[in-house]
Amino acid sequence: DQSLREETERLAEEAVQLFRSLDDERWAFYVSLFLTTYLSIITEERWYFDEIRTITRKQGDLIGIADRLEGESWGYASNFQFEKAEEMLSEALDISMELDDRMKIVSISATMGWQWIWHGRFEDARSLYNETLVTYSDLDYSQSSAFNIQAHLGYSDLYLGDYKEARKHALHTMDLLGETKHFMAGLWKAYCLDILGKVTLVEGRSAESEKYFQDCMLVFKTYDHREKISGTLTCLGYIARKNGQIYDAQGYFYQALDMAINVTAIMGLTHALPGIALLFADQGDNERAVELYALASSMGIVANSRWFADIAGDEIAEIAAKLP
């Protein structure tokens, strides 16, 4: 909701000024970091990062510098500048290891793994996640990013086409979450539902898949997670097309693409383009369908994914083989 977002931004900016009036730059920093990391205010993102840089430079605050590097890496990853994003995360990880900040190490590892998934480095992400969970198994999940890793680990299995493992991990994570009171627990459960929806989608169980996506959509809207809302809309589009509901499919893909462009939602974009390519093929515009899927395949998460091949890529490849 735009009015809620604007009100949140206003209150956060007021909080920054109040903390500064108390000479508490540390909390002014955390409020600024909150705005960049959780609100995804794309148009003003650079201003807030400049604020964070100023504070951390002034204080020589190593923890703050690591936080800033992790937060800013998302901006580069969202613009497909994965090498720059990884460079920043590696620096943040080095700082956190130097300080022996185990909670921060896990948080940065979670971020790095997810960005590797964006990049199509599924095996690397899976290895990093498993290694991190083993190394820091003594941490209290409810107070760390370990649950975030647990929730995301199934995505590497999913995109690699290891659907049995992806389902097993999603269900296991939901059991682990149980009645966890962490403020992100609902979102992490929704990630698991998203994985289960994608698995059942590729297995052709449309009704079950749609139920998963509708359930996780409610959660993503509660958290105003537009990246995931866009991605979920595309999956509903794939289901509608599979059911022969072409008009509905067009509507879902249009909404997803519109949102992805407006908020720079990389996952929404990568999931929408293959579906739109299928719609062009349905209309007999095979050259455009192949061209659009080729564009989508320039992104690693599509090019290296068995899941994308199963829901769209193989069908487009058959069409391409028949072109002059």
Read off the pLDDT of residues 141-164 as tens digits, 9 standing for 90 and up: 655 678 889 889 999 999 999 999
190 pLDDT more than 90 = yes
% pLDDT > 70, the chain: 85
pLDDT digits (tens, 9 = 90+) for 117-130: 999 999 999 999 99
Closest by Cα among 161, 156, 125, 163 to 307: 161
Between 313 and 91, residue with greater pLDDT: 313
* pLDDT classification of 44: cutoffs 50, 70, 90: very low
Q: Which residue from 95, 98, 102, 47 is spatially nearest to 75, judged by alpha carbons? A: 47
Average pLDDT over residues 233-260: 95
Report the phi/psi class of residue 244: left, alpha or beta, with left for phi > 0 and alpha for psi in -120 to 50: left
- Predicted local confidence at residue 31, as pLDDT: 66
Nearest to 239 by CA among 281, 207, 282, 194: 207
pLDDT classification of 184: cutoffs 50, 70, 90: confident
pTM score, two decimals? Answer: 0.81
Q: Is the pLDDT of residue 27 over 90?
A: no
Q: What are residue 283's phi and psi, to 5 degrees?
A: -90, 5
